[in-house]
Amino acid sequence: MSEKATFAAGCFWGVEETFRKISGVVDVQVGYAGGHTQNPTYQQVCADDTGHAEAVEIAYDPEKVSYGDLLNAFWHMHDPTTPNRQGPDVGSQYRSVIFYHTEEQRKEAETSTQSMNQSGAFQKPIVTEIVPASDFWRAEEYHQRYFEKNSRGVCHI
C-alpha cells in the first residue's frame, strides 16, 4: 500500500522529475498546495495572489523508500534557505514547503530540518515551512511529466 508525501521546492517540473527517479516512488503529480483559492489555474498561481505554492504530490511505497529518504532528496534538490525564490523564479509560489499528512511526517520533517541546519550543509538557516497538508489541486495536464513531453523545458517564464 502506498503512502503520500507533498513537497514544494520551486518550479514543480524539475521537482517532479527528480522524485520520479527515486526507486520506491510509485507516482508523482504536479499541482498547487497551501493556498486559499479553490481549483486555481497556473496563470492565477503565477500571478502570486492565490497563496499556493507549486508542489508535487508523491505516492510512495514505504517498504522500498522511507519518508526520510524523500526528505533527504527534497533538501538536496533545491535551496531551502531562500524565501520565495528558487534560482531565477521569484514569488511565493516558489517557496520551500513540507506539507505533512501525518503527525509522524511532521515530527520527521522537524527533526530533519534541525539536522540539516546543524549539519552546515547550507550557509544560511533553512526557511522551509512545515505545514499540514490541505487541498492539493492537480495542475493542468500539460504540466504533468513536463520534461518527458518537452525536451527543452525551463522552470521559469
> Where in the sequence numbering do the catalytic residues fall?
11
* 26, 59 contact by CB (below 8 A): yes
> Residue for cell digits 549539519?
119
Helices (H), 10-145: 12-20, 42-46, 67-76, 103-119
Secondary element (H or E) of residue 146: helix 146-149
Please, which residues bridge with residue 89 across strands? 86
Secondary element (H or E) of residue 147: helix 146-149
